[in-house]
Amino acid sequence: MAETMFDQTTILHAVHTKWAGKTVHFAEEVDSTNEWAKRLSREGEVHGALAVAEFQSAGKGRLGRKWTAPVGSSVMMSILLRPDFEPRLAPMLTIVMGLSAAQAVERMGIKACIKWPNDVVVSRKKICGILTEMSVKEGKIDYVVIGCGINVNLEALPEDIADKATSLCLETGKTYDRNKVLAKVLECFEGNYEQFEKTKDLTLLQEDYNRMLANYGQTVRVLDPLGAYEGIAYGINISGELLVEKADGERVCVGAGEVSVRGLYSYV
């Protein structure tokens, strides 16, 4: 199947939402879609506006890692949000997007799960990365930008990550319309975001998230700066913290910004 056109017009035609992605900015190349979305925010762009690019010259992952993908292979987008809730709640939106991307992949008939907090995983390999950034002014959120990168039509991966990453194409042998992939993510995100807004926590999304959690009921190693330990993961609480039961029966809440969690025997 030949690659379908992917630009502002085709994206707008594919997206059927109320506010998420109703405004689309598209470029062949930018430094990063997150940085572009921040600039759009400063120019007064609205809640739900989307920045999409074919290539990022300075794409970013978590912990300052570089993130790149060949032209035509991926969905690289950032959504601009202007929430009216407290800044301390914004980190949970990373989990909201992670859940949304995983649900979108499932809706395409591909079994997906989530490695806490927000890596979308197919066949025990990462298929999607998410990066959330926020600006606060006078104690209130000015904007939140959530970047989402999905490996869609990548036919090969560099040797150093081939055992840790995959794409929709590699998993199924099919080529996908990236407009539809992007649209599914936005549709799932809009619904999940509205559920989050009702309670200002993950109460209404917790069950769906835990159902998709790859680590659920599994032994994990918590890389806490104060001392690493192992335990069994039992899903997230309504704040998005991972509940881990240690060998002595103590249950602890692990925060994503504080520690890293690894499976013992595989990527997840």
Which residues make Cβ contacts (< 8 Å) with residue 64, sequence separation at least 6? none
Report the residue count for the chain.
Answer: 268
For the record, the structure tokens of 14 come out as 């594919």
Is residue 36 within 8 A of residue 63, CB to CB? The reply is no
Q: Torsions phi, psi of 180, nearest 5?
A: -70, -35
Strand order in the sheet with 219-223: 251-254, 242-246, 229-236, 219-223, 260-263
The burial class, CB within 10 Å (0-12 / 13-18 / 19+), for 88 is: exposed
Integer angstrom CA distances of residue 263 from 61, 95, 104: 20, 19, 24
The owner of tokens 């609480």 is 237
Full-model pTM: 0.92
- Nearest 5 degrees, angle CA 86-CA 92-CA 96? 125
* Terminal C-alpha separation, the chain: 32
For the record, the structure tokens of 46 come out as 């609205």
So what's the pLDDT on residue 82?
A: 97
Beta bridge partners of 251: 245
Per-residue pLDDT of the chain (268 residues; tens, 9 = 90+): 456 899 999 999 999 999 999 999 999 999 999 999 999 999 999 999 999 999 888 655 444 455 456 677 899 999 999 999 999 999 999 999 999 999 999 999 999 999 999 999 999 999 999 999 999 999 999 999 999 999 999 998 888 888 899 999 999 999 999 999 999 999 999 999 999 999 999 999 999 999 999 989 999 999 888 889 999 999 999 999 999 999 999 999 999 877 778 776 566 6
Which residues make Cβ contacts (< 8 Å) with residue 93, sequence separation at least 6? 81, 83, 132, 144, 146, 193, 196
Which domains are assigned to the chain? 8-211 (3.30.930.10), 215-263 (2.30.30.100)
So what's the pLDDT on residue 157?
A: 84
Closest C-alpha to 102, from 178, 223, 253, 210: 210
